[in-house]
Chains A and B, each alone.
Chain A
Amino acid sequence: MFVNVAWHSLLNRKYTVLLTLISVAISTFVLLGVEHIRHEAKESFSKTVSGMDLIIGARTGQLNLLLYSVFRMGNATNNISWESYRELATDPKIAWTIPISLGDSHRGYRVMGTTQDYFRHFRFGQNTSLSFAQGGPFVQLFDVVIGAEVARKLGYCLNESIVLAHGLGQASFSVHNDKPFRVTGILRPTGTPVDQALYISLQGMEAIHLNWKEGVKIPGKQISDHDIEKFDLTPKSITAFMVGLKSKMTTFHVQRQVNHYQKEPLLAILPGIALTELWQMMNMMENTLRLISILVLFSSLLGLSTMLLSSIRERQREIAVMRAIGASPFFVFLIIQTEVLLISLSGIIVAIFALVIGIFFAQPLLAENYGIFINHFVLNRETLGILGIIVMGTLLLGLIPALSAYRLSLHHGLAVRS
């Protein structure tokens, strides 16, 4: 009965109600959206570093090392010499290593020089290893494996010939056009930055830079594919390397060993700890965002209760009629609260729909521009908790018009005073 009366009462004022509903929907959307993206961004970062125990690079900040080595954000300040890498990699405590060499790009996507160990040992998400949608790892010098997103966006197929560019950036003027690469493998999508890069062997990386010096092509110096085999293609340095240990117990021991390495200044980081540091830095911004979205919500709920409060005056007659046919003041109170609830629940439903659709469209944009992979919006315990708080807040603010109606029906009785 409440719902029927409240529903028709709302329909009767559909334009004001619709506007109020939209405002509740927007604020709920903002609050849930901020929470979801915050949660998913963390999730996305954490699942990218799932298998490795340590990341080792030239001495820099631990966040910097983490961001450039795994998330392809920012640039390395210095490299590690190949000798140091080999020496550390042969340590008996270490199970495997993945060397990475960065610096080149292809149409805005980064190119990473590595070894086949990358496809063998790299883990993402719930300890999943990389797998190929088509083809397989690079074998030849000028073979390239491409990530799922690169293949999709640029429309590359197996055996396609591509040219890498020196340095980063979408429109590079210095390209390695003398050394085209052949696509030998396309990785399955992972939902991590892995999808957005191209992978070549360290030797291939070395080979395309043979006729380069200090980042510039040496004019007139051309090396034919045949001549290349005469050169020693062992890299002189790498950017960083990921490490898997035989036993997690030795993590801190190895870390200390690397940090005190005598021959050159190195840094070993635990990706999980570096991420925690990142979250701490983001904390302030997160809280600010959250505070803003809570204030937006509060103001829209206040708008809802204002709308109903101003309607109470014009509803005096209606209230008198209800009283005449035997409605208690409490019934009148409940009608108003039911209206409040109907508006806020509809607003929440609209917000959830908008969020599901919005995230569906935002997913590729966030992945491309920020390397952040957001899952579909689902109702979990946390979001349900937030929704519960929103409903409670609505009912609390709904007390203002509902109590006003209650008082009116109690004191004015059958008489209508204008």
Chain B
Amino acid sequence: MHSDSPENSTTLASDPVSPIIKVKDLHFSYPGKMQSAVLDIPEWHIARGERVFLKGPSGSGKSTLLNLLAGILVANKGSIEILGQNLGALSARKRDRFRAAHIGIVFQQFNLIHYLTTLDNIRLATHFGSKGKTGLELTAKQLFEALGLDKALITKKASNLSVGQQQRVAIARALINAPEILIVDEPTSALDSDTRDAFMKVLLQISQTQGNTLIFVSHDTALTSHFHHVVNLAEINLAGGSKYVC
């Protein structure tokens, strides 16, 4: 189903020196606007298990970069290798499957399909990622425990959860397929400061235990202390000129 990508990733995973994400000569511009490139990243690596804080003003191409890393968009030039797999070489279908199996994504808000129960939201994620279908409920309950969520929430409709609860369920959903990479896009901006701190705590804890590589996108520089690296997109991205450099 996954062609040769899982095999590749396991062989590469045993090599600690090899980075989990390798971006090389990446060029991207939206169709019809070829002359104004959004992204131009000559080189960027993220090591396995690393926690990266990615910042950059709005319009600097953050969401475009996330779409590229998730395999929803494809680079015009250059390559993105994740777990040794060049995303550009995969078909759209295989990229969708690759994302389902290897990348967990948490958005700023509205992470859940509100008319489904929490469990169905998680089940939908396992529908696309082929691993860990068996014992789904058990895994979900363990994740809930680790995230400090009441297990009773599992049968509740997503729309009945508070925003803070939804964000934590989103982490559970993102981690249910045990992805190597967790991308979190401004997850705290909809939370008040107390819930934000609690959220950050469980997020960091669980990604540590699971050994995920964490890419955390945020404006909130107060959170940078939790991360190994802080990357300013404007510094690695040559496109867009000097106007984005802080």
When A320-B107, A413-B72 are in contact, do A325 and B128 touch as well, CB less than 8 Å?
yes
CB distance from B101 to the nearest CB of A (A): 7
Interface residues of A in 290-338 (CB under 8 A from B): 317-318, 320-329
- Nearest CB to that of B98 among chain A residues? A326
Are A328 and B92 in contact, with the CB atoms below 8 A?
A: yes
In the complex, A224 has a CB within 8 A of chain B: no
In the complex, A262 has a CB within 8 A of chain B: no
Stretch at the interface among A4-12, A152-160, A248-256, A268-276: A4-12
Residues of A in contact (CB 8 Å), total 23
List, in ascending order, chain A residues with CB within 8 A of B99's CB.
Answer: 324, 326
When A325-B100, A326-B100 are in contact, do A414 and B67 touch as well, CB less than 8 Å?
yes
Interface digits, A1-39 against B, CB 8 Å rule (1 contact, 0 not)?
100110011011000000000000000000000000000
CB distance from A364 to the nearest CB of B (A): 46
- Nearest CB to that of B97 among chain A residues? A326
List, in ascending order, chain B residues with CB within 8 A of A318's CB.
Answer: 113-114
- Nearest CB to that of A319 among chain B residues? B113
Are A1 and B107 in contact, with the CB atoms below 8 A?
A: no
A416 to B127, CA, bound (A): 23
Are A414 and B120 in contact, with the CB atoms below 8 A?
A: no
A415 to B100, CA, bound (A): 17
- Nearest CB to that of A8 among chain B residues? B115
In the complex, B82 has a CB within 8 A of chain A: no
List, in ascending order, chain A residues with CB within 8 A of B73's CB.
Answer: 413
Interface residues of B in 57-97 (CB under 8 A from A): 63, 66-67, 70, 72-73, 92-93, 96-97
Are B113 and A324 in contact, with the CB atoms below 8 A?
A: no
- Nearest CB to that of A320 among chain B residues? B107
In the complex, B233 has a CB within 8 A of chain A: no
A327 to B70, CA, bound (A): 12
Partner of B96, one of A8, A328, A414, A416: A328
The A interface is mostly helix, strand or loop, or mixed, namely: helix
In the complex, B116 has a CB within 8 A of chain A: yes
CB distance from B205 to the nearest CB of A (A): 22
Are A325 and B115 in contact, with the CB atoms below 8 A?
A: no
Are B173 and A325 in contact, with the CB atoms below 8 A?
A: yes
Are A322 and B67 in contact, with the CB atoms below 8 A?
A: no
Are A326 and B115 in contact, with the CB atoms below 8 A?
A: no
Are A413 and B92 in contact, with the CB atoms below 8 A?
A: no
A323 to B129, CA, bound (A): 12
A1 to B92, CA, bound (A): 21
List, in ascending order, chain A residues with CB within 8 A of B127's CB.
Answer: 1
A8 to B162, CA, bound (A): 20
Interface digits, B97-133 against A, CB 8 Å rule (1 contact, 0 not)?
1011100010100111111100010001101110000
List, in ascending order, chain B residues with CB within 8 A of A415's CB.
Answer: 63, 67
Are B120 and A8 in contact, with the CB atoms below 8 A?
A: yes
Partner of B120, one of A4, A320, A413, A416: A4
- Nearest CB to that of B68 among chain A residues? A413
Partner of A5, one of B66, B113, B185: B113
Partner of A321, one of B100, B101, B113, B185: B113
Are A324 and B96 in contact, with the CB atoms below 8 A?
A: no
Are A324 and B107 in contact, with the CB atoms below 8 A?
A: yes
A329 to B107, CA, bound (A): 19
CB distance from B65 to the nearest CB of A (A): 11
- Nearest CB to that of B102 among chain A residues? A326
List, in ascending order, chain B residues with CB within 8 A of A12's CB.
Answer: 114-115
A413 to B110, CA, bound (A): 15
A contacts, CB < 8 Å to B: 1, 4-5, 8-9, 11-12, 317-318, 320-329, 413-416
Can you offer 26 A-B residue contacts whose CB atoms are under 8 A?
Answer: A1-B127, A4-B120, A5-B120, A5-B124, A8-B116, A11-B115, A12-B114, A318-B113, A321-B107, A321-B113, A323-B96, A325-B125, A325-B128, A325-B129, A326-B100, A326-B101, A326-B128, A327-B96, A327-B128, A328-B93, A328-B96, A329-B92, A413-B67, A413-B72, A414-B70, A414-B72
